[in-house]
Amino acid sequence: MRHDAQGLAVSTDRPETIAAVDQLLARQANQRLDQSERAALLAAADQDPVALPNTIAAILSIHAGDKVSAARYLGRARAAPDANDREALFLDAAAAWADGDIDTAIAGFEQIADRWPRDMYAVWLCCTLKFYARKDADGALALVRRVIDQIDDRGQAYALLSFMEEEAGLFAEAESSARVAVDLDPTLILGQHTVAHVMEAQGRDAEGVEWLERFTETWDDLNESFNPHMWMHLGLHYLGIGDGAQALKLFDVEIAPRYLDKGPAQLYGANLLARAELAGFDVGDRFAGIASHIDIAAHQHLDALGDLHHVYVLSRTPVGAPAFVSSMAQHAEGLHPSVKPTWDDVVLPTARAIVLFNSGDAPGAAAALDSAHHRFIDLGGSAVERGVFADLWLHALIASGRHAEAAAELDILRARKGDHLAVRRFAGLIAA
């Protein structure tokens, strides 16, 4: 029995296993590239027949969509001797996650966090699933508030708190907590990220540009998800001040050359391009560059939000999106009962609306979103990422002549962003 960097017991006698766990979780906590740390963790799991490293290896496999490896590592974890109570709960939660039973997984990780509040990994996993899979920002925030005083890494604790506050709509508290985190450690990406979210939500795009430009030198070793994500945020702030040329330059220079073969960069690149195009900027053939990396036949549909961005990309190219949307519908048939209704009622109608809108059928797109738009939050991701679908909905209403409904939607946007460039642009379209 040894103890990890958080002082928590791990059922192993191998210092190499402890080092592999600690190093991987430290890199993941700040969203840094972790290929070597992942390799070390997987090697430790293969060499050490104990529960925790094999459970973490299973979680890595779940994230990667590798069901075969996930099952193998879960089997090794189940066969492990002398697992302690925390490790057994981790195994049960990971197994539920692998089966698609997200609610049971959340309950398991939350139980770990409540019993061992210093376990930042359990807190992070629970918040991730609550927020991304269930859109329960309030529940995630409540968890962080319960355990924050017990978490050793104060910067990471405040950074996580700030993001949950922001997604719960507590913008002033979120910005304050994020600034505390960044003051403790300027490289804390979640703190930087939260302030960008708050400024986007409030229409403070000039401040957002200034804020993020301060930190771009800390992004080089961000992982393949957060690196393009932060450049997307900076690009959206440039769009917010009307500088479409700079936004597209960031796509060309910072997103497209690095990770466009990976799903996250495809999502964030597509989001930035779609928002630019909807704002009236010519994006040229850039969607085709993303489409060239999308393998429809091999697609696993791991994430609804990513799928919808792929639909947007494909529907803006000669390839078209019907085959991809059909594949999404087939995937939905086999989903866990806790997830399938969201796909049937929100994800698939939104996919169809995107295709209709980009084929010139704005009335059809608006009709497809009549019910779904109330539940965009169920698509996952953040309000910023889902903003592209809110933009499309508003454009579809205006182009369909449904001006009274569009004006009501615009009033909601105006209440949040004030006399923002986007508000003035939409008002002009309604009045035209």
Q: What pTM value is reported for the model?
A: 0.92
- Beta strands 2-3 and 9-10 are antiparallel
Task: Confirm whether 277 is domain-assigned.
Answer: no
Residue 348's pLDDT is what? Answer: 98
pLDDT band at residue 381 under the 50/70/90 scheme: confident
Residue 280's pLDDT is what? Answer: 96
Residue 291's pLDDT is what? Answer: 95
Structure-model confidence comparison of residues 283 and 302, the more confident one: 283
Residue 165's pLDDT is what? Answer: 96
Task: Confirm whether 187 is domain-assigned.
Answer: no
Domain boundary among the residues 100, 127, 149 is at 149
Domain boundary among the residues 130, 149, 168 is at 149
Asked if pLDDT for residue 409 goes beyond 80, the answer is yes
Q: Answer for the pair 202, 417: CB distance below 8 angstroms, yes or no.
A: yes
> What mean pLDDT is predicted for residues 298-302?
80
Task: Confirm whether 389 is domain-assigned.
Answer: yes
Asked if pLDDT for residue 132 goes beyond 90, the answer is no
User: Rounded distance, CA 266 to CA 296, Å?
Assistant: 14
Q: Answer for the pair 123, 147: CB distance below 8 angstroms, yes or no.
A: yes
| Short-list 225, 249, 217, 222, CA closest to 235 | 249
Domain boundary among the residues 149, 184, 210 is at 149
Sign (positive or negative) of CA dihedral 305, 131, 41, 34: positive
**pLDDT, tens digit, 9 for 90 and up, residues 50-92:** 999 999 999 999 988 899 999 999 999 999 988 999 999 999 9
- Return the number of other C-beta atoms located less than 10 Å from residue 333's C-beta: 9
Residue 388's pLDDT is what? Answer: 97
User: Rounded distance, CA 388 to CA 243, Å?
Assistant: 18
CATH number, domain of 127, equals 1.25.40
Q: Which residues contact 355 (CB under 8 A, 6 or more apart)?
A: 311, 315, 321, 322, 325
Asked if pLDDT for residue 152 goes beyond 80, the answer is yes
Task: Confirm whether 102 is domain-assigned.
Answer: yes
Task: Confirm whether 10 is domain-assigned.
Answer: yes
Task: Confirm whether 371 is domain-assigned.
Answer: yes
Task: Confirm whether 423 is domain-assigned.
Answer: no
Task: Confirm whether 112 is domain-assigned.
Answer: yes
Number of domain units in the chain = 2
pLDDT band at residue 336 under the 50/70/90 scheme: confident
| Short-list 102, 89, 152, 95, CA closest to 131 | 102
% of the chain surpassing 70 pLDDT: 100
**pLDDT, tens digit, 9 for 90 and up, residues 89-111:** 999 999 999 999 999 999 999 99
305 is in which domain, residue-wise?
Answer: 294-400
Residue 360's pLDDT is what? Answer: 97
User: Rounded distance, CA 314 to CA 2, Å?
Assistant: 51
Residue 432's pLDDT is what? Answer: 85
Q: List residues bridging with 10 in a β-sheet.
A: 2
